[in-house]
A and B are shown apart, each in its own frame.
Chain A
Amino acid sequence: MTESEIKSAFAHHKDAIYRFAWRMTASPDKALDITQDVFLTLLRAPNRFDPLRGQLRSFLLGIARNLALTRLTQEARWAALEDDESAVAPIEPGEAREMVARAIAALPPLQREVLILAQYEELSLEEIATAVHAEVGTVKSRLFRARENLRRMLAPLKQSRSISCGTAK
């Protein structure tokens, strides 16, 4: 890739990368750093991207994912990047948006990343598999567990939603 192509990629994909990093780290500053580092990585090794192996967006999100996980690991917020934790702590009730943010932040990172890529970035399972360097089956399984965890953690919203819907009517 040439520098002008990378600049064009920056213009097209910076928002998606920033959003993903913001959701992964819950920090605007870290999201900013990660987004810049993604394109810096591409500038330093422009030949790492192979169009035959997938979309540029998946490739860039894959770099962002690696950088985010490295930061999370360095911060020792998770002792290990396990994806089979089933006992996720319940979250306190509050405003729906905050509860969703807290519930997603409480997911193990490997579940969180596939959920964010699928739900918010609307990547296909194959694209997610490319981005997170995993098999499609593994991605499916992580996504299933993430959604199961969220169903339980966000169950209190069901009641409040039905109440609010009831009053709205």
Chain B
Amino acid sequence: MEPLNDQELNQVLNQWTAPAAPRALKFPKDRSGWRWLLQGSIRIPAPIALLLVIAAGVWLYSTRSTTKAIAHPKPVSLADFQPVKQMQPRVIGRANEAN
């Protein structure tokens, strides 16, 4: 089959027109650095997200069951506590530090 000449090739190529930029194309916002912390988002693959959810569920369940296992202690009353009646300070010299 005879190949196209230059003029024919140009004519044929010019039939392939590209669409105009869509309206959805907006000036991008720079979300680098600290801006990313406020406005950024990350994509997580579905299997990893599922694993994270399951792990979080297991962790919550285990912490709840541990909390239940601990017996609730009785309320502590300070009624029997009394201030020290007489202070007996004792000075210990360096020589007697061991005592």
The answer, yes or no, to whether A48 is at the interface (CB within 8 Å) is no
User: Which range holds the interface residue count of chain A?
Assistant: 35 or more
- Dominant secondary structure of chain A at its interface with chain B: helix
Of B3, B6, B16, B22, the residue contacting A100 (CB under 8 A) is B16
Are A159 and B1 interface neighbours, CB within 8 A? yes
The answer, yes or no, to whether B2 is at the interface (CB within 8 Å) is yes
CB neighbours of A7 from chain B (8 A): 27
Measured CB to CB, the residues of B under 8 A from A are 1-6, 8-10, 12-22, 24-28, 30, 32
Measured CB to CB, the residues of A under 8 A from B are 7, 10, 14-15, 18-19, 22-23, 28, 32, 35-37, 39-40, 43-44, 96-97, 100-101, 104, 119-120, 147-148, 150-152, 154-159, 161
Q: List 19 A-B contacts (CB under 8 A).
A: A7-B27, A18-B18, A18-B21, A19-B18, A28-B19, A44-B30, A100-B12, A100-B13, A101-B16, A120-B18, A148-B3, A150-B13, A152-B3, A154-B12, A157-B4, A157-B12, A158-B1, A159-B1, A161-B12
